Amino acid sequence: MRILLMGSPNVGKSVIFTRLTGVNVITSNYPGTTVEYTKGTMRYRGEPVEVVDAPGTYSLDPTSRAEEVAVAMVENADLIINVVDATNLERSLNLTLDLIRTGKPLIIALNLWDEAKHKGIKIDVKQLEEILDVPCVPTCAVTGEGIKELVSRLDEARPSEFTYQDKWETIGQIVSQVQQVTHRHHTIWERLADASVRPFTGIPIALIVLYLSFRLIRLIGESLISFVFDPLFERLWAPLMLKLSALLGGSGLLHGILIGELIDGKIEFMESMGLLTTGLYVPFAAVLPYIFAFYLVLSLLEDSGYLPRLAVLMDTFMHRLGLHGLGIIPMLLGLGCNVPGSLSTRILETRRERFIAATIMAIAVPCMAQIAMIVGLVGKYGAKGLGTVFGTLFIIWVGLGALLNRILKGESPEIFVDIPPYRVPYMKAVAKKVWMRVKWFLKEAVPFVLLGVFIVNVLYTLGIIQLMGRLAAPIVTGLFGLPKETVGALLIGFLRKDVAVGMLVPLGLTLRQLIIASVILAIYFPCVATFTTLARELGLKDMLKSVAIMITLTIIVGTLLNLILPR
Amino acid sequence: MTVRIPLVNAYPGEPCRVVQIQGGYGLIRRLYALGIREGKVIRKLTTQFMRGPVVIDVGGAQVAIGFGMASKIIVEVNR
């Protein structure tokens, strides 16, 4: 048996989903498409049944790929829970009437019931139930009100006998029969909501929100590192590893692979390059705290309803880069990891937009793993280090976007986005989302980090990195002013950028070399995970174009930085 | 007296009755899905600099659409 949750975007469908299902939630791609959906289980009549959270859709007449998937899912559903926005009954009934025509057993959750009350909207549930001929349950998913009743009435879900001719006329009649609106004064949230899309107040608000977000990410990330993970590694893990090192005889092939090199008889977690030292320290102590902090803040921004407002404010600027306002979403996600960043370019309508967004993201938006390592590497130089690295990347991002917008034929379509009211995020849903993203990082990234560290050791032992270093010396040393050992980092950067940045630590580079190497590592090529995702998303031809841009840009930017930066 | 103007020319907050959508099937369908259709009273809330997107209030819900699309929505206002 399969229960399907259907509803428009931003009606709290996912919160209801979180309430209904337990911890075993899986996100996967719908077969044959690139649209993601979430699946979980709940107990119903004493048995576990599957619950599917369909992508949000306004009607069964799809206008996008995600909506097509939602429509296709109806076929295989045994019972449909239609999540309706009680604050906007008229718009929601559009989908409800479509669902009635499918003849599937249906039950309606009138969600955001409390918000509707605050807005002065009264809905006669009994009458609505009689008209639509299916059970209707008022819910407030965030507080959990009504969820029990919804579950207990699942048995009453049935195909509706209701028929209609003209859809919009019918909707109008239903709304005027069951709904009463009394005028209420604007709440402080609504005032804030208005202020954050007006340009004069919205732009300062956006700057404050973004500044606070980055401060918060850094605060959480740094605190976790210095108070939790560093002490754990230094006090508990390091002594253990020293014992193991002694046990292995302090040198040799196995020692080199597991522990790496001891520096002054001690383990340096960023430099030793052993599987059990650097291989574990980089993903868990250096990167994971930032990944957690970033996704916590991003999820709060998403669930509060701020992102569409940011998209509206950024729209005019993003058009200069050939994108519309929603183009900011792949960039924000890309800051976490370029893989979900690439996947989210799907929210853009045309191939041209997706190409521009994917290319400038893959080149100029470093992922959180890389950012965390760069902060660790040049953070101590303050704005002179970090400012130059991220300033350069920002200039590349804007410059390349503007250039592609000039060169590529076609125009960018206009923005079209629903702006939900501000809501206090439901913490359990945020926690679930953060956990799913952190789990993804642990499952997908950690093995690659270990593989990266392992390959570094093998390549060094076989002398391949030294050989490549000599071959690439004209470019790396001649043009970029970097020692030829940097080539090793560039090689490994294809596997994992965080490990690659870590490989710069033992080279003893000067600040200008650190800046050049950090920028080059960010732009020269995406990591293998991003590369395969991009190739799938863009197709081989566009991917090759993108790669050509990357390599050309790397040579230009590396040389320029080498010329401009003071020695 | 009522006059017909494109939505972009309405005053912020002024009630506007939609009389015509001068767009193709795709645009009409997308606007319908968000409840913007002939006969409906909507309000333009804000516009951005340099012909940026227009934020519209439709029955208490807000939607942002591009300037070009908003120019294709013809509304009736009392002046």
**At which residue do the structure tokens 């009522």 appear?**
B2
Looking at residue A389, its pLDDT comes to 95
Query: How far apart, in whole angstroms, are the C-alpha atoms of residue A450 and residue A527?
Result: 15
Query: How far apart, in whole angstroms, are the C-alpha atoms of residue A327 and residue A306?
Result: 15
Cβ–Cβ below 8 Å for A90 and B59: yes
Contact list in B for residue A198 (CB cut-off 8 A) is 46
Cβ–Cβ below 8 Å for B49 and A413: no
A175-202 pLDDT per residue, tens: 999 998 887 777 787 788 888 888 889 9
Contact list in B for residue A12 (CB cut-off 8 A) is none
3 state SS of A524: coil
Contact list in B for residue A94 (CB cut-off 8 A) is 32-33, 35
Contact list in B for residue A121 (CB cut-off 8 A) is 60
In the 3-class helix/strand/coil scheme, how is A43-64 assigned residue by residue?
EECCEEEEEEECCCCCCCCCCC
Cβ–Cβ below 8 Å for A315 and B60: no
Q: In whole angstroms, what separates CA A101 from the centre of its chain?
A: 36
Pick the residue of A112, A118, A179, A315 with the most B CBs within 10 A to test the interface with B by mutation.
Answer: A315
> Residue B65 is nearest to which of A58, A88, A414, comparing CB atoms?
A414
Cβ–Cβ below 8 Å for B63 and A316: no
Q: Cα distance from B79 to chain A (closest Cα, Å)?
A: 24
Query: How far apart, in whole angstroms, are the C-alpha atoms of residue A19 and residue A403?
Result: 47
**Sequence-ordered alpha helix ranges (H) in A141-198:** 147-152, 167-178, 188-195
3 state SS of B23: coil
Contact list in B for residue A417 (CB cut-off 8 A) is 63-65
Query: How far apart, in whole angstroms, are the C-alpha atoms of residue A108 and residue A138?
Result: 8
All residues at 6 or more sequence positions from A524 whose CB lies less than 8 Å from its CB, including other chains: A490, A493, A550, A551, A554
Looking at residue A466, its pLDDT comes to 83
Is residue A306 over pLDDT 70?
Answer: yes
Which residue type sits at A101? R
**Biggest distance spanned by C-alpha atoms of chain B:** 33
Cα–Cα distances in angstroms (integers) from residue A150 to residues A67, A108, A135, in the given order:
25, 8, 9
Looking at residue A31, its pLDDT comes to 58
In the 3-class helix/strand/coil scheme, how is A97-156 assigned residue by residue?
HHHHHCCCCEEEEEECHHHHHHCCEEECHHHHHHHHCCCEEECECCCCECHHHHHHCHHH
Cβ–Cβ below 8 Å for A91 and B67: no
% of chain A residues with pLDDT over 70? 97
Q: Cα distance from A92 to chain B (closest Cα, Å)?
A: 9
Cβ–Cβ below 8 Å for B48 and A312: yes
The correct answer on CATH 2.30.30.90 for the domain covering B2-78 is yes
Please report the ipTM that was assigned to this predicted complex.
0.91
Query: What's the pTM value of the predicted model, to 2 decimals?
Result: 0.83
Q: Cα distance from B48 to chain A (closest Cα, Å)?
A: 6
For chain B, give every domain's residue range: 2-78
Query: How far apart, in whole angstroms, are the C-alpha atoms of residue A97 and residue A174?
Result: 11
Cβ–Cβ below 8 Å for B50 and A198: no
Cβ–Cβ below 8 Å for A199 and B48: yes
Cβ–Cβ below 8 Å for A88 and B37: no
Instruction: State in words which class domain A2-184 has.
Output: alpha beta
3 state SS of A8: coil
Cβ–Cβ below 8 Å for B53 and A61: no
Looking at residue A35, its pLDDT comes to 66
Contact A314, A432 (CB under 8 A): no
Looking at residue A24, its pLDDT comes to 63
A70-84 pLDDT per residue, tens: 888 898 899 999 999
All residues at 6 or more sequence positions from A11 whose CB lies less than 8 Å from its CB, including other chains: A56, A83, A84, A85, A92, A111, A112
Residue of A nearest to B45 (CA): A194
- Output the six-digit token pair for A330: 């792949």
Give the pLDDT band (50/70/90) at residue A33: low
A75-123 pLDDT per residue, tens: 889 999 999 999 889 889 999 999 999 999 999 999 999 888 888 889 9
Give the pLDDT band (50/70/90) at residue A29: low
Backbone φ and ψ of A446, nearest 5°: -55, -45
Cα–Cα distances in angstroms (integers) from residue A470 to residues A458, A465, A477, A483, A487, in the given order:
18, 9, 10, 10, 9
Cβ–Cβ below 8 Å for B60 and A59: no
A255-279 pLDDT per residue, tens: 888 888 888 888 888 888 888 998 8
Q: Cα distance from A8 to chain B (closest Cα, Å)?
A: 10
Looking at per-residue confidence, does A25 or B68 come out higher? B68
Which residue type sits at A279? G
Pick the residue of B18, B28, B34, B69 with the most A CBs within 10 A to test the interface with A by mutation.
Answer: B34
Contact list in B for residue A88 (CB cut-off 8 A) is 35, 59-61
Looking at residue A23, its pLDDT comes to 61
Give the residue from A156, A164, A13 showing the smallest Cα distance to A97: A164
A456-479 pLDDT per residue, tens: 888 888 888 888 888 888 888 889
Looking at residue A320, its pLDDT comes to 92
Query: Which 8-state DSSP code applies to residue A506?
Result: G
**Strand A179-181 to B2-6 pairing:** unpaired
For chain A, give every domain's residue range: 2-184, 199-415+435-564
Interfacial residues of A (vs B; Cβ cutoff 8 Å): 58-59, 61, 63, 85, 87-88, 90-91, 94, 119, 121, 168, 193-194, 197-199, 308, 311-313, 315-316, 324-325, 413-421
A369-425 pLDDT per residue, tens: 899 999 988 988 888 899 999 999 999 999 999 999 999 988 888 888 888 888 888
> Residue B46 is nearest to which of A168, A197, A420, comparing CB atoms?
A197
3 state SS of A385: helix
* Mean pLDDT across chain A: 88
